[in-house]
Amino acid sequence: MAVHEFDLVILGGGSGGYAAAIRASELGKKVVLIEKDKVGGTCLHRGCIPTKALLHAAEVADHVRSAASVGVTATLEAIDAAGVRSYREGIVAKKFKGLEGLLKARGITVVAGEGRLAANRSVTVGDDRYVGADVVLATGSYSRSLPGLEIGGRIIASEQALALDEIPSSVVILGGGVIGVEFASVWRSFGAEVTIVEALPHLVPNEDIALSKGLERAFRRRGIKYSLGTRFQKAEQDDSQVTVTLEDGKSFSADYLLVAVGRGPATADLGFEEAGVSLDRGFVTVDDQLRTGVPGLWAVGDIVAGLQLAHRGFLQGIAVAERIAGMQVPALPESQIPRVTYCSPEVASVGITEEAAIAEYGADAVVAYDYNLAGNGKSEIIGTGGTVKVVRQKDGPVVGVHLLGDRVGELITEGQLAVAWEAHPEDIAPLIHAHPTQSEALGEVFLALAGKPLHAL
Protein backbone atom coordinates (compact mmCIF):
# COMPACT_ATOMS: atom_id res chain seq x y z
CA MET A 1 0.00 0.00 0.00
CA ALA A 2 1.41 3.39 -1.02
CA VAL A 3 1.48 5.93 1.80
CA HIS A 4 1.06 9.66 1.11
CA GLU A 5 1.64 12.23 3.83
CA PHE A 6 -0.23 15.53 4.09
CA ASP A 7 -0.85 18.16 6.75
CA LEU A 8 -4.58 17.77 6.23
CA VAL A 9 -6.63 14.94 4.76
CA ILE A 10 -10.27 15.76 3.95
CA LEU A 11 -12.84 13.07 3.24
CA GLY A 12 -15.65 14.50 1.08
CA GLY A 13 -15.43 17.43 -1.35
CA GLY A 14 -18.80 19.14 -0.74
CA SER A 15 -19.39 22.58 0.78
CA GLY A 16 -17.84 21.70 4.15
CA GLY A 17 -14.88 19.71 2.82
CA TYR A 18 -13.82 22.03 0.01
CA ALA A 19 -14.15 25.15 2.20
CA ALA A 20 -11.83 23.51 4.75
CA ALA A 21 -9.41 22.62 1.91
CA ILE A 22 -9.29 26.15 0.50
CA ARG A 23 -8.84 27.86 3.86
CA ALA A 24 -6.18 25.37 5.02
CA SER A 25 -4.21 25.86 1.79
CA GLU A 26 -4.41 29.64 2.27
CA LEU A 27 -2.89 29.05 5.68
CA GLY A 28 0.05 27.16 4.13
CA LYS A 29 -1.10 23.58 4.72
CA LYS A 30 -0.49 20.72 2.33
CA VAL A 31 -3.99 19.41 1.67
CA VAL A 32 -5.55 16.37 0.01
CA LEU A 33 -9.29 16.33 -0.75
CA ILE A 34 -10.79 12.89 -1.38
CA GLU A 35 -14.03 12.83 -3.38
CA LYS A 36 -15.82 9.80 -4.80
CA ASP A 37 -18.10 11.74 -7.13
CA LYS A 38 -17.64 15.44 -8.02
CA VAL A 39 -16.20 18.27 -5.94
CA GLY A 40 -18.99 20.67 -5.00
CA GLY A 41 -21.06 17.84 -3.52
CA THR A 42 -24.81 17.91 -2.98
CA CYS A 43 -25.08 21.69 -3.01
CA LEU A 44 -23.55 22.22 -6.44
CA HIS A 45 -24.73 19.10 -8.25
CA ARG A 46 -28.00 18.01 -6.61
CA GLY A 47 -29.04 20.74 -4.19
CA CYS A 48 -28.81 24.51 -3.83
CA ILE A 49 -27.66 25.48 -7.32
CA PRO A 50 -29.79 23.26 -9.60
CA THR A 51 -32.93 23.83 -7.52
CA LYS A 52 -32.42 27.60 -7.55
CA ALA A 53 -31.99 27.48 -11.34
CA LEU A 54 -35.34 25.63 -11.50
CA LEU A 55 -36.91 28.25 -9.22
CA HIS A 56 -35.62 30.99 -11.50
CA ALA A 57 -37.14 29.32 -14.57
CA ALA A 58 -40.38 29.00 -12.55
CA GLU A 59 -40.26 32.71 -11.72
CA VAL A 60 -39.84 33.59 -15.39
CA ALA A 61 -42.89 31.45 -16.23
CA ASP A 62 -44.92 33.27 -13.56
CA HIS A 63 -43.77 36.66 -14.87
CA VAL A 64 -44.85 35.73 -18.39
CA ARG A 65 -48.24 34.59 -17.08
CA SER A 66 -48.80 37.83 -15.21
CA ALA A 67 -47.18 40.12 -17.82
CA ALA A 68 -50.50 41.69 -18.82
CA SER A 69 -50.90 43.07 -15.28
CA VAL A 70 -47.98 45.45 -15.94
CA GLY A 71 -49.02 46.24 -19.50
CA VAL A 72 -46.75 43.80 -21.30
CA THR A 73 -48.36 41.48 -23.81
CA ALA A 74 -46.93 37.97 -23.62
CA THR A 75 -48.28 34.45 -23.71
CA LEU A 76 -46.80 31.44 -21.97
CA GLU A 77 -46.80 28.76 -24.62
CA ALA A 78 -45.10 25.90 -22.82
CA ILE A 79 -42.41 24.85 -20.41
CA ASP A 80 -39.69 23.13 -22.42
CA ALA A 81 -38.37 20.52 -19.96
CA ALA A 82 -35.26 19.91 -22.08
CA GLY A 83 -34.58 23.65 -22.30
CA VAL A 84 -34.93 24.08 -18.52
CA ARG A 85 -32.60 21.14 -18.05
CA SER A 86 -29.90 22.50 -20.33
CA TYR A 87 -30.09 25.96 -18.66
CA ARG A 88 -29.77 24.31 -15.23
CA GLU A 89 -26.97 21.98 -16.29
CA GLY A 90 -25.10 24.87 -17.91
CA ILE A 91 -25.08 26.79 -14.62
CA VAL A 92 -23.88 23.76 -12.66
CA ALA A 93 -21.19 22.95 -15.25
CA LYS A 94 -19.78 26.49 -15.12
CA LYS A 95 -19.67 26.54 -11.32
CA PHE A 96 -18.11 23.07 -11.26
CA LYS A 97 -15.39 24.12 -13.69
CA GLY A 98 -14.76 27.25 -11.62
CA LEU A 99 -14.44 25.22 -8.42
CA GLU A 100 -12.07 22.70 -9.98
CA GLY A 101 -9.93 25.59 -11.23
CA LEU A 102 -9.94 27.20 -7.80
CA LEU A 103 -8.82 24.01 -6.04
CA LYS A 104 -6.06 23.51 -8.60
CA ALA A 105 -4.89 27.11 -8.32
CA ARG A 106 -4.67 26.67 -4.52
CA GLY A 107 -2.41 23.63 -4.97
CA ILE A 108 -4.91 21.26 -3.35
CA THR A 109 -4.47 17.61 -4.33
CA VAL A 110 -7.85 16.17 -5.34
CA VAL A 111 -8.07 12.39 -5.25
CA ALA A 112 -10.95 10.74 -7.13
CA GLY A 113 -12.13 7.70 -5.24
CA GLU A 114 -14.09 6.32 -2.33
CA GLY A 115 -12.27 6.84 0.93
CA ARG A 116 -12.53 4.99 4.20
CA LEU A 117 -11.32 6.25 7.56
CA ALA A 118 -8.60 4.08 9.07
CA ALA A 119 -6.52 4.18 12.26
CA ASN A 120 -3.94 6.88 13.08
CA ARG A 121 -5.52 9.77 11.18
CA SER A 122 -5.48 8.13 7.81
CA VAL A 123 -7.89 7.51 4.97
CA THR A 124 -7.55 4.64 2.52
CA VAL A 125 -8.59 4.83 -1.12
CA GLY A 126 -8.05 1.48 -2.82
CA ASP A 127 -4.38 0.65 -2.38
CA ASP A 128 -3.40 4.14 -1.24
CA ARG A 129 -3.24 5.44 2.29
CA TYR A 130 -3.41 9.20 2.96
CA VAL A 131 -2.05 10.13 6.36
CA GLY A 132 -2.61 13.54 7.90
CA ALA A 133 -1.56 15.47 10.97
CA ASP A 134 -5.31 16.21 10.94
CA VAL A 135 -8.31 14.66 9.18
CA VAL A 136 -11.61 16.40 8.44
CA LEU A 137 -14.68 14.22 7.87
CA ALA A 138 -17.15 15.85 5.48
CA THR A 139 -19.13 13.04 3.84
CA GLY A 140 -22.47 14.88 3.74
CA SER A 141 -25.99 13.49 3.67
CA TYR A 142 -28.53 11.46 1.69
CA SER A 143 -32.30 11.72 1.15
CA ARG A 144 -34.17 9.91 3.88
CA SER A 145 -37.44 8.05 3.49
CA LEU A 146 -39.97 6.63 5.94
CA PRO A 147 -40.05 3.00 7.12
CA GLY A 148 -41.72 0.87 4.45
CA LEU A 149 -41.61 3.66 1.84
CA GLU A 150 -39.03 2.72 -0.75
CA ILE A 151 -37.73 5.18 -3.33
CA GLY A 152 -38.26 3.73 -6.82
CA GLY A 153 -40.50 4.11 -9.87
CA ARG A 154 -43.01 6.92 -9.27
CA ILE A 155 -41.83 7.38 -5.70
CA ILE A 156 -38.89 9.74 -5.94
CA ALA A 157 -36.51 11.82 -3.79
CA SER A 158 -35.03 15.20 -4.72
CA GLU A 159 -32.21 13.59 -6.78
CA GLN A 160 -34.72 11.81 -9.06
CA ALA A 161 -36.96 14.90 -9.12
CA LEU A 162 -34.08 16.91 -10.56
CA ALA A 163 -33.36 14.20 -13.13
CA LEU A 164 -36.99 14.02 -14.41
CA ASP A 165 -37.21 14.65 -18.13
CA GLU A 166 -40.83 15.73 -18.03
CA ILE A 167 -42.97 18.28 -16.26
CA PRO A 168 -45.36 16.12 -14.24
CA SER A 169 -49.04 16.99 -14.48
CA SER A 170 -49.59 16.16 -10.81
CA VAL A 171 -47.39 15.54 -7.78
CA VAL A 172 -47.89 14.67 -4.13
CA ILE A 173 -45.07 15.90 -1.91
CA LEU A 174 -44.44 14.22 1.41
CA GLY A 175 -42.95 16.84 3.72
CA GLY A 176 -43.67 20.57 3.98
CA GLY A 177 -40.13 21.56 4.93
CA VAL A 178 -37.66 23.46 2.82
CA ILE A 179 -37.07 20.90 0.02
CA GLY A 180 -40.78 20.00 -0.20
CA VAL A 181 -42.06 23.57 -0.51
CA GLU A 182 -39.34 24.55 -3.01
CA PHE A 183 -40.29 21.71 -5.39
CA ALA A 184 -44.00 22.47 -4.80
CA SER A 185 -43.36 26.05 -5.86
CA VAL A 186 -41.42 25.04 -9.02
CA TRP A 187 -43.88 22.43 -10.21
CA ARG A 188 -46.90 24.67 -9.60
CA SER A 189 -45.29 27.45 -11.63
CA PHE A 190 -44.69 24.87 -14.38
CA GLY A 191 -48.41 24.06 -14.35
CA ALA A 192 -48.64 20.91 -12.21
CA GLU A 193 -51.35 20.10 -9.66
CA VAL A 194 -49.46 19.93 -6.36
CA THR A 195 -50.50 18.56 -2.96
CA ILE A 196 -48.19 18.72 0.05
CA VAL A 197 -48.68 16.27 2.92
CA GLU A 198 -47.15 17.46 6.21
CA ALA A 199 -47.61 15.58 9.48
CA LEU A 200 -46.99 18.66 11.64
CA PRO A 201 -49.67 21.36 11.91
CA HIS A 202 -47.93 23.83 9.53
CA LEU A 203 -45.79 24.19 6.42
CA VAL A 204 -42.15 25.17 7.15
CA PRO A 205 -42.86 24.08 10.74
CA ASN A 206 -39.54 25.27 12.16
CA GLU A 207 -40.25 28.89 11.22
CA ASP A 208 -42.06 31.60 13.17
CA ILE A 209 -45.78 30.90 12.98
CA ALA A 210 -46.34 34.23 11.15
CA LEU A 211 -44.24 32.94 8.24
CA SER A 212 -45.86 29.49 8.19
CA LYS A 213 -49.36 30.97 8.11
CA GLY A 214 -48.38 33.58 5.52
CA LEU A 215 -46.83 30.91 3.27
CA GLU A 216 -49.93 28.72 3.63
CA ARG A 217 -52.14 31.66 2.53
CA ALA A 218 -49.85 32.44 -0.40
CA PHE A 219 -49.69 28.79 -1.52
CA ARG A 220 -53.50 28.53 -1.27
CA ARG A 221 -53.80 31.55 -3.57
CA ARG A 222 -51.36 29.90 -5.99
CA GLY A 223 -53.50 26.75 -6.05
CA ILE A 224 -50.97 24.61 -4.15
CA LYS A 225 -52.99 22.22 -1.98
CA TYR A 226 -51.80 20.87 1.34
CA SER A 227 -52.86 18.52 4.10
CA LEU A 228 -51.51 19.44 7.55
CA GLY A 229 -51.43 17.58 10.85
CA THR A 230 -52.14 14.06 9.54
CA ARG A 231 -49.51 11.40 9.09
CA PHE A 232 -48.73 9.42 5.99
CA GLN A 233 -49.80 5.77 6.09
CA LYS A 234 -48.87 4.16 2.76
CA ALA A 235 -48.14 4.69 -0.91
CA GLU A 236 -49.03 2.34 -3.74
CA GLN A 237 -47.97 2.72 -7.37
CA ASP A 238 -48.81 1.21 -10.74
CA ASP A 239 -47.79 2.05 -14.31
CA SER A 240 -49.70 5.30 -14.46
CA GLN A 241 -49.91 6.78 -10.97
CA VAL A 242 -49.08 6.64 -7.28
CA THR A 243 -51.71 6.80 -4.55
CA VAL A 244 -50.85 8.11 -1.11
CA THR A 245 -53.08 7.28 1.86
CA LEU A 246 -52.98 9.16 5.16
CA GLU A 247 -53.75 7.81 8.62
CA ASP A 248 -57.22 9.43 8.53
CA GLY A 249 -58.07 7.43 5.38
CA LYS A 250 -57.82 10.37 2.95
CA SER A 251 -55.95 9.58 -0.25
CA PHE A 252 -54.32 11.52 -3.09
CA SER A 253 -53.24 10.23 -6.50
CA ALA A 254 -50.64 11.80 -8.77
CA ASP A 255 -48.00 11.09 -11.42
CA TYR A 256 -45.27 11.14 -8.77
CA LEU A 257 -44.75 11.14 -5.01
CA LEU A 258 -41.76 13.25 -3.95
CA VAL A 259 -40.44 12.11 -0.58
CA ALA A 260 -38.94 15.16 1.15
CA VAL A 261 -38.84 14.11 4.79
CA GLY A 262 -35.30 15.21 5.57
CA ARG A 263 -31.72 14.12 5.06
CA GLY A 264 -29.69 11.60 7.02
CA PRO A 265 -25.94 11.80 7.73
CA ALA A 266 -23.75 9.74 5.33
CA THR A 267 -21.61 8.08 8.00
CA ALA A 268 -22.37 4.35 7.73
CA ASP A 269 -19.69 1.83 6.71
CA LEU A 270 -16.94 4.43 6.36
CA GLY A 271 -14.80 3.17 9.23
CA PHE A 272 -15.77 6.04 11.52
CA GLU A 273 -16.75 3.97 14.56
CA GLU A 274 -13.84 1.55 14.15
CA ALA A 275 -11.50 4.58 14.27
CA GLY A 276 -13.08 5.63 17.58
CA VAL A 277 -15.45 8.33 16.29
CA SER A 278 -18.72 8.27 18.19
CA LEU A 279 -22.03 8.65 16.39
CA ASP A 280 -25.42 9.70 17.72
CA ARG A 281 -28.30 8.55 15.46
CA GLY A 282 -25.71 8.51 12.67
CA PHE A 283 -24.47 12.08 13.24
CA VAL A 284 -20.84 12.53 14.29
CA THR A 285 -20.58 13.67 17.89
CA VAL A 286 -18.43 16.81 18.14
CA ASP A 287 -17.66 19.51 20.69
CA ASP A 288 -18.36 23.19 19.99
CA GLN A 289 -15.03 23.43 18.13
CA LEU A 290 -16.10 20.54 15.80
CA ARG A 291 -13.54 18.14 17.28
CA THR A 292 -14.57 14.48 17.43
CA GLY A 293 -13.40 12.64 20.54
CA VAL A 294 -10.36 11.33 18.60
CA PRO A 295 -7.38 13.74 18.61
CA GLY A 296 -6.76 15.25 15.14
CA LEU A 297 -10.15 14.15 13.76
CA TRP A 298 -12.72 16.84 12.96
CA ALA A 299 -16.18 16.84 11.35
CA VAL A 300 -18.05 19.49 9.35
CA GLY A 301 -21.26 19.95 7.37
CA ASP A 302 -24.37 17.77 7.20
CA ILE A 303 -22.81 14.93 9.22
CA VAL A 304 -22.85 17.26 12.25
CA ALA A 305 -26.36 17.49 13.76
CA GLY A 306 -28.00 20.87 13.22
CA LEU A 307 -29.01 23.02 10.27
CA GLN A 308 -28.16 21.19 7.04
CA LEU A 309 -27.18 24.22 4.97
CA ALA A 310 -24.33 24.80 2.55
CA HIS A 311 -23.22 28.09 4.13
CA ARG A 312 -23.06 26.39 7.52
CA GLY A 313 -20.74 23.84 5.88
CA PHE A 314 -18.58 26.67 4.45
CA LEU A 315 -18.44 28.36 7.85
CA GLN A 316 -17.55 25.15 9.67
CA GLY A 317 -14.92 24.20 7.07
CA ILE A 318 -13.23 27.59 7.39
CA ALA A 319 -13.39 27.51 11.20
CA VAL A 320 -11.86 24.03 11.41
CA ALA A 321 -9.03 24.92 9.00
CA GLU A 322 -8.23 27.98 11.12
CA ARG A 323 -8.34 26.01 14.39
CA ILE A 324 -5.99 23.41 12.87
CA ALA A 325 -3.63 26.29 12.02
CA GLY A 326 -3.70 27.31 15.68
CA MET A 327 -6.09 30.25 15.42
CA GLN A 328 -8.71 30.96 18.09
CA VAL A 329 -12.12 30.79 16.39
CA PRO A 330 -15.17 31.10 18.62
CA ALA A 331 -18.12 28.79 17.93
CA LEU A 332 -20.99 30.44 16.08
CA PRO A 333 -24.42 29.76 17.62
CA GLU A 334 -26.69 27.92 15.16
CA SER A 335 -29.37 30.54 15.65
CA GLN A 336 -27.09 33.14 14.01
CA ILE A 337 -26.99 31.18 10.76
CA PRO A 338 -29.44 32.67 8.22
CA ARG A 339 -32.07 30.31 6.77
CA VAL A 340 -33.73 30.87 3.42
CA THR A 341 -36.44 28.81 1.72
CA TYR A 342 -36.45 29.89 -1.93
CA CYS A 343 -40.05 29.15 -2.91
CA SER A 344 -42.40 31.87 -4.12
CA PRO A 345 -42.90 33.74 -1.87
CA GLU A 346 -39.54 33.31 -0.15
CA VAL A 347 -39.17 32.58 3.57
CA ALA A 348 -36.08 33.89 5.34
CA SER A 349 -35.14 34.04 8.99
CA VAL A 350 -32.34 34.37 11.50
CA GLY A 351 -32.32 34.24 15.28
CA ILE A 352 -35.21 32.87 17.27
CA THR A 353 -38.99 32.89 16.78
CA GLU A 354 -41.31 35.01 18.91
CA GLU A 355 -42.51 31.83 20.63
CA ALA A 356 -38.93 30.78 21.48
CA ALA A 357 -38.11 34.30 22.70
CA ILE A 358 -41.11 34.25 25.04
CA ALA A 359 -40.08 30.82 26.32
CA GLU A 360 -36.55 32.14 26.95
CA TYR A 361 -37.16 35.64 28.30
CA GLY A 362 -40.84 35.65 29.39
CA ALA A 363 -43.83 37.26 27.63
CA ASP A 364 -43.34 40.64 29.34
CA ALA A 365 -39.72 40.88 28.21
CA VAL A 366 -40.33 40.36 24.47
CA VAL A 367 -41.61 42.82 21.86
CA ALA A 368 -42.44 41.76 18.29
CA TYR A 369 -43.44 43.98 15.39
CA ASP A 370 -45.01 42.75 12.17
CA TYR A 371 -44.92 44.98 9.09
CA ASN A 372 -47.11 44.07 6.13
CA LEU A 373 -45.22 44.30 2.81
CA ALA A 374 -48.36 45.92 1.36
CA GLY A 375 -46.94 49.14 2.84
CA ASN A 376 -43.64 48.80 0.95
CA GLY A 377 -43.45 50.55 -2.44
CA LYS A 378 -40.94 48.22 -4.11
CA SER A 379 -42.85 45.11 -3.03
CA GLU A 380 -46.03 46.63 -4.49
CA ILE A 381 -44.17 47.33 -7.77
CA ILE A 382 -42.89 43.75 -8.12
CA GLY A 383 -46.28 42.40 -7.05
CA THR A 384 -45.40 40.58 -3.85
CA GLY A 385 -47.20 40.47 -0.54
CA GLY A 386 -45.63 39.25 2.67
CA THR A 387 -44.41 40.31 6.04
CA VAL A 388 -41.37 41.52 7.95
CA LYS A 389 -41.34 40.56 11.60
CA VAL A 390 -38.68 41.54 14.09
CA VAL A 391 -38.48 40.18 17.62
CA ARG A 392 -36.51 42.05 20.28
CA GLN A 393 -36.00 41.85 23.99
CA LYS A 394 -37.90 44.71 25.62
CA ASP A 395 -35.45 47.65 25.78
CA GLY A 396 -32.85 45.19 24.48
CA PRO A 397 -31.36 43.68 21.33
CA VAL A 398 -32.97 42.18 18.26
CA VAL A 399 -33.18 38.40 18.75
CA GLY A 400 -35.07 37.32 15.62
CA VAL A 401 -35.82 38.54 12.09
CA HIS A 402 -38.48 36.72 10.04
CA LEU A 403 -39.30 37.60 6.43
CA LEU A 404 -41.86 36.42 3.88
CA GLY A 405 -42.17 37.72 0.31
CA ASP A 406 -40.59 37.39 -3.13
CA ARG A 407 -36.85 38.23 -3.06
CA VAL A 408 -36.69 38.70 0.73
CA GLY A 409 -33.89 36.12 0.97
CA GLU A 410 -31.59 38.92 -0.16
CA LEU A 411 -32.57 40.96 2.94
CA ILE A 412 -31.70 38.39 5.57
CA THR A 413 -28.05 39.47 5.77
CA GLU A 414 -29.12 42.71 7.47
CA GLY A 415 -31.18 40.65 9.89
CA GLN A 416 -28.15 38.48 10.58
CA LEU A 417 -25.97 41.51 11.34
CA ALA A 418 -28.61 42.85 13.73
CA VAL A 419 -28.98 39.53 15.56
CA ALA A 420 -25.28 38.62 15.65
CA TRP A 421 -24.18 42.10 16.76
CA GLU A 422 -27.00 42.21 19.31
CA ALA A 423 -28.08 45.54 17.85
CA HIS A 424 -30.92 47.48 19.43
CA PRO A 425 -33.54 48.81 16.96
CA GLU A 426 -32.58 52.28 18.23
CA ASP A 427 -29.03 51.67 16.88
CA ILE A 428 -30.29 50.78 13.40
CA ALA A 429 -33.20 53.23 13.07
CA PRO A 430 -30.96 56.22 12.18
CA LEU A 431 -29.29 54.22 9.36
CA ILE A 432 -31.75 55.10 6.63
CA HIS A 433 -32.61 52.53 3.94
CA ALA A 434 -32.56 53.42 0.22
CA HIS A 435 -35.91 54.24 -1.36
CA PRO A 436 -37.62 52.42 -3.00
CA THR A 437 -36.21 49.07 -1.89
CA GLN A 438 -37.66 46.10 -0.09
CA SER A 439 -35.03 46.68 2.60
CA GLU A 440 -37.04 49.74 3.62
CA ALA A 441 -39.59 47.33 5.11
CA LEU A 442 -36.92 46.23 7.60
CA GLY A 443 -36.06 49.88 8.19
CA GLU A 444 -39.73 50.61 8.95
CA VAL A 445 -39.77 47.87 11.59
CA PHE A 446 -36.62 49.17 13.26
CA LEU A 447 -38.10 52.69 13.23
CA ALA A 448 -41.35 51.40 14.73
CA LEU A 449 -39.55 49.40 17.42
CA ALA A 450 -37.48 52.49 18.23
CA GLY A 451 -40.74 54.36 18.83
CA LYS A 452 -40.76 56.50 15.66
CA PRO A 453 -42.72 54.69 12.92
CA LEU A 454 -42.75 56.45 9.53
CA HIS A 455 -45.09 54.62 7.12
CA ALA A 456 -46.72 52.56 9.86
CA LEU A 457 -48.81 53.06 12.98
For position 338 contacting ligand FAD by CB under 6 A, the verdict is no
Q: Tell me the closest approach of the beta carbon of residue 41 to ligand FAD, in angstroms.
A: 3
Cα–Cα nearest to 226, from 201, 243, 249, 206 = 201
Decide: 125 and 131 in contact? Cβ < 8 Å: no
Under rule CB under 6 A, which residues in 236-275 are in contact with ligand FAD? 266, 270
Q: Is residue 435 annotated as part of the catalytic site, yes or no?
A: yes
Choose which of 8, 24, 43, 259 interacts with ligand FAD (CB under 6 A): 43
Query: Count of H helices and E strands in the chain?
Result: 13, 24
Q: Burial code of 220-256, b = ≥16 C-beta within 10 A, e = fewer?
A: eebebebbbeeebeebebeeeebbbebeeeeebebbb
Under rule CB under 6 A, which residues in 142-171 are in contact with ligand FAD? 158
For position 132 contacting ligand FAD by CB under 6 A, the verdict is no
For position 138 contacting ligand FAD by CB under 6 A, the verdict is yes
Q: What angle do CA 413, 417, 419 make, to 5 degrees?
A: 110
Q: Burial code of 359-381, b = ≥16 C-beta within 10 A, e = fewer?
A: eebeeeebbbbbbebebbebbee
Mutual angle of helices 15-26 and 310-324, in 10-degree steps: 30
Q: Which is nearer to ligand FAD, 9 or 390 (CB)?
A: 9
Choose which of 134, 208, 255, 302 interacts with ligand FAD (CB under 6 A): 302
Under rule CB under 6 A, which residues in 51-90 are in contact with ligand FAD? 51-52
Which residues are 255's β-sheet partners?
Answer: none
Decide: 206 and 291 in contact? Cβ < 8 Å: no
For position 349 contacting ligand FAD by CB under 6 A, the verdict is no
Q: Tell me the closest approach of the beta carbon of residue 224 to ligand FAD, in angstroms.
A: 18
For position 139 contacting ligand FAD by CB under 6 A, the verdict is yes
Q: How many residues touch ligand FAD (CB under 6 A)?
A: 37
Q: Tell me the closest approach of the beta carbon of residue 17 to ligand FAD, in angstroms.
A: 5
Q: Tell me the closest approach of the beta carbon of residue 434 to ligand FAD, in angstroms.
A: 26
Q: Which is nearer to ligand FAD, 306 or 333 (CB)?
A: 306
Q: Which is nearer to ligand FAD, 100 or 427 (CB)?
A: 100
Under rule CB under 6 A, which residues in 378-437 are in contact with ligand FAD? none
Residue 291 DSSP class: B
262 is in an annotated binding site: yes
198 is in an annotated binding site: yes
DSSP string, 184-237: HHHHHHTT-EEEEEESSSSSSTTS-HHHHHHHHHHHHHTT-EEEES--EEEEEE
426 is in an annotated binding site: no
Decide: 24 and 321 in contact? Cβ < 8 Å: yes
177 is in an annotated binding site: yes
Choose which of 9, 17, 181, 194 interacts with ligand FAD (CB under 6 A): 17
Cα–Cα nearest to 216, from 233, 229, 232, 231 = 229
Q: Which is nearer to ligand FAD, 19 or 448 (CB)?
A: 19
311, 424, 435, 455: which one is catalytic? 435
Separation of alpha carbons 245 and 249, rounded Å? 6
Separation of alpha carbons 175 and 260, rounded Å? 5
Decide: 246 and 174 in contact? Cβ < 8 Å: no
Question: Quick count: other Cβ atoms within 10 Å of Cβ 160?
Answer: 17
Specify the stretch interacting with ligand FAD by CB under 6 A; choose among 13-21, 78-86, 91-99, 362-370: 13-21
Specify the stretch interacting with ligand FAD by CB under 6 A; choose among 137-145, 168-176, 219-227, 433-441: 137-145
Would you list which residues are annotated within the binding site for FAD? 52, 115, 139-141, 302
Q: Which residues bind ligand FAD (CB under 6 A)?
A: 11-17, 34-37, 41-43, 46-48, 51-52, 114-115, 138-141, 158, 179, 266, 270, 301-302, 308-311, 313, 342
Annotated active-site positions, please?
Answer: 435
